[in-house]
């Protein structure tokens, strides 16, 4: 029986690994401060990115801890709670900062000599052509001069895409750099300045791409069973398997739900439909807004990069929607989801 339980655990872990594979790509790569060797040592710095953990070799032991049943019980309860609502329509609150602003760039100060600090500030992490890239340097406790910026392709470190002198005063310097259609993929943003006779460079990363698809508008919102259906119009430049995520807001711009849909799209004018489940909507009728779009073209083969689309507008007004149009029929998980839950519950009771 112990061996049977161990095999089941390994199978569960394998399923979790497959689930993690389908998750979005991790945030941007590391940022750092680079100082010439002859002047001062290099100081590493992490940006808002989360560095992926290195994989560890799993070891299957002959004995199973006595608490394994409790762990499966916790997993079963958490999964049952997750299945109480559809994954395509998840409740959203003001505390869900990352979901409310999925393209946010979080600057982190780099400590310099004498207690001074400096940081690169960007309006966001991911850009789409023809958006310009605005770079800002903020310095505290140190007088600096000769501030400049360069954007370099990470796939070819010798390729400087654009350079610019940064202007400013009182510890804040800014420059706006225009892009070209050739900008594509991950890039390094290097900010160089002089302080106390030394040149120092701060480095961070961004992504820039030509959009593979564009959201051009919304269609007429309608009711279908227990779901509010929101059609979105898209112009697809490159066919493929797409995932669309957007946030639904009420009349007071308070977050209501995170809506998600995945679909294979062909080139040209197409439509994707987002669904908002009645269980996450307000009880009363009201006006709604859709925004905070993330449109991804998923990799078709291993090694291919995720590509991104854009929206012509930051948000779209959906107008007034009558909640009483929706049925009270409860949402039912799919058969495979129920089988996973039954498996967890069985393991918890053994």
By mean pLDDT, which of 25-29, 87-91, 144-148, 215-219 is the weakest? 25-29
Tens of pLDDT, residue by residue over 150-159, are 999 887 777 8
Average pLDDT of the residues of the chain = 79
> Are 243 and 262 a contacting pair, CB within 8 Å?
yes
CB neighbours (10 Å) of residue 293?
Answer: 20
The contacts of residue 314 (CB under 8 Å, 6+ apart) are 291
pLDDT class of 79 with cuts at 50, 70, 90: low
Q: Is the pLDDT of residue 91 over 80?
A: yes
121 is written with which tokens? Answer: 């500030």
Superfamily of domain 116-209: Immunoglobulins (2.60.40.10)
Burial environment of residue 328 by CB neighbours within 10 A (0 to 12, 13 to 18, 19 or more): exposed
Per-domain residue ranges of the chain? 89-97+211-325, 116-209
Closest CA to 149 of 162, 131, 138: 162
What Cα–Cα distance (Å) separates residue 97 from each residue in 60, 92, 281, 290?
38, 10, 20, 17
What pLDDT score does 53 carry?
Answer: 39
The contacts of residue 120 (CB under 8 Å, 6+ apart) are 31, 47, 107, 135, 136, 137, 189, 191, 202, 204
Tens of pLDDT, residue by residue over 252-290, are 999 999 999 999 999 999 999 999 999 889 988 889 999
Q: In degrees rounded to 5, what are phi and psi of residue 2?
A: -65, -40
What Cα–Cα distance (Å) separates residue 99 from each residue in 23, 246, 259?
14, 9, 11
Using DSSP's 3-state secondary structure scheme, residue 78 falls into: helix
Nearest-angstrom CA–CA distance, 165 and 169: 13
The contacts of residue 304 (CB under 8 Å, 6+ apart) are none
The contacts of residue 277 (CB under 8 Å, 6+ apart) are 85, 86, 88, 89, 226, 227, 257, 331
Q: In degrees rounded to 5, what are phi and psi of residue 53?
A: -75, 140
Strand partners for 230:
274
pLDDT class of 344 with cuts at 50, 70, 90: low
Q: Is the pLDDT of residue 334 over 90?
A: no
- 89-97+211-325 matches 116-209 in fold: yes
162 is written with which tokens? Answer: 């654009």
pLDDT class of 217 with cuts at 50, 70, 90: very high
Nearest-angstrom CA–CA distance, 120 and 122: 7
The reported pTM is: 0.69
Tens of pLDDT, residue by residue over 171-215, are 899 999 999 888 888 899 999 999 888 899 999 999 998 899 999
What pLDDT score does 11 carry?
Answer: 45
Closest CA to 28 of 187, 175, 191, 174: 187
319 is written with which tokens? Answer: 């107008």
Q: Domain 89-97+211-325's class? A: mainly beta
């Amino acid at each position: 029986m112990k061996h049977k339980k161990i095999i089941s655990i390994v199978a569960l872990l394998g399923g979790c690994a497959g689930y993690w594979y389908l998750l979005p790509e991790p945030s941007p790569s590391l940022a750092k401060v680079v100082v010439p060797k002859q002047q001062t040592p290099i100081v590493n710095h992490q940006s808002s990115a989360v560095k992926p953990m290195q994989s560890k070799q799993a070891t299957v032991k002959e004995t199973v801890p006595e608490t394994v049943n409790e762990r499966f019980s916790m997993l079963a309860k958490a999964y049952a709670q997750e299945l109480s609502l559809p994954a395509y329509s998840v409740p959203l609150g003001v505390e869900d900062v990352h979901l409310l602003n999925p393209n946010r760039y979080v600057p982190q100060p780099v400590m310099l000599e004498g207690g001074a600090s400096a940081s690169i500030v960007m309006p966001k992490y991911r850009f789409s052509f023809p958006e310009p890239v605005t770079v800002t340097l903020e310095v505290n406790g140190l007088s600096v001069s000769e501030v400049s910026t360069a954007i370099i392709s990470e796939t070819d470190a010798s390729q400087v895409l654009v350079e610019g002198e940064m202007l400013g005063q009182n510890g804040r310097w800014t420059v706006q750099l225009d892009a070209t259609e050739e900008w594509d993929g991950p890039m390094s943003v290097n900010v160089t300045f002089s302080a106390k006779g030394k040149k120092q460079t701060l480095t961070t990363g961004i992504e820039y791409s030509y959009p593979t698809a564009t959201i051009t508008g919304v269609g007429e919102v309608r009711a279908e069973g227990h779901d509010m259906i929101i059609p979105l119009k898209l112009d697809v430049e490159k066919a493929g398997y797409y995932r669309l995520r957007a946030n639904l807001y009420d009349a007071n711009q308070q977050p209501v739900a995170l809506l998600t849909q995945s679909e294979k799209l062909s080139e040209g004018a197409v439509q994707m439909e987002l669904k908002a489940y009645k269980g996450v909507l307000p009880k009363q009728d009201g006006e709604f807004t859709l925004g905070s779009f993330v449109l991804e073209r998923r990799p078709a083969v291993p090694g291919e990069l995720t590509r991104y689309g854009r929206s012509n507008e930051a948000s779209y007004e959906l107008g007034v929607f009558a909640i009483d149009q929706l049925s009270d029929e409860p949402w039912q998980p799919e058969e495979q989801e129920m089988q996973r839950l039954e498996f967890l519950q069985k393991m918890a009771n053994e």
